[in-house]
Amino acid sequence: MYNKPKNSLEYSEPVIEQYSDNVVLEVMQQKTDEDTSSKYVLIKHDFYSSDSEHGRDMLKTIFNVLANSEYKNLIIYLVDKGTLLLDNSNPLSGSFQTLISKSEMIIVDDESLTKYQVSCDLDSKITIQSFSSIAEDILFLSDILILE
């Protein structure tokens, strides 16, 4: 019971193809240059999912995946406790610096920098904006990855 193989470019979403009774493949559409041009990421905390060592390890993994991705332009927004990633004393500061080096721009919430008294060296890729300005930016982004 073999189905006729199809070109993966025919699909706009992942499709499950069953080629025999016990072989199932997920066929993905190939990414185009447009798909890998820009990625917007909003980081709200200096941990992922839970405020624990495990949550920090998970966030570090996400940083590594983003830094090694095919995206040509990574634009990262830091708001609330996400701004703590810039603090020199943060355990993820080194991993985040690697992500900064691979990013096009880091946009940071000014009010949170002040509230959390973040002590950091400002890289030329870092832009400080008011939270209201960041909110206006993200309001119009159709494709944004939000890390909570």
Instruction: Read off the pLDDT of residues 104-130 as tens digits, 9 standing for 90 and up.
Output: 999 999 999 999 999 887 778 899 999
State the pTM of this model: 0.74
Which DSSP category does 29 fall into? Answer: P
CATH number where 128 lies: 3.40.1260.10
How much is the average pLDDT of 17-44?
64
Regarding whether 124 and 99 lie in a shared domain, the answer is yes
What is the model's pLDDT at position 136?
94
Regarding whether 9 and 76 lie in a shared domain, the answer is no
Give the burial class of 129: count Cβ atoms within 10 A of its Cβ; 0-12 exposed, 13-18 middle, 19 or more buried: middle
Regarding whether 52 and 109 lie in a shared domain, the answer is yes
Which long-range contacts (C-beta less than 8 Å, at least 24 apart) are formed by 60-65? Answer: 60/92, 60/95, 62/147, 63/92, 63/95, 63/96, 63/98, 63/99, 64/95, 64/98
Query: Residue 100 has which token pair?
Result: 């900064």
Regarding whether 5 and 49 lie in a shared domain, the answer is no
User: Residues with Cβ < 8 Å from 10, sequence gap 6 or more?
Assistant: none
Domain count along the chain: 2
Q: What is the spatial distance between Cα 20 and Cα 52, in angstroms, rounded to a whole number?
A: 44
> Is the pLDDT assigned to residue 74 strictly greater than 80?
yes
Q: What is the spatial distance between Cα 115 and Cα 111, in angstroms, rounded to a whole number?
A: 6
Q: Which residue range is the domain that position 23 belongs to?
A: 1-30
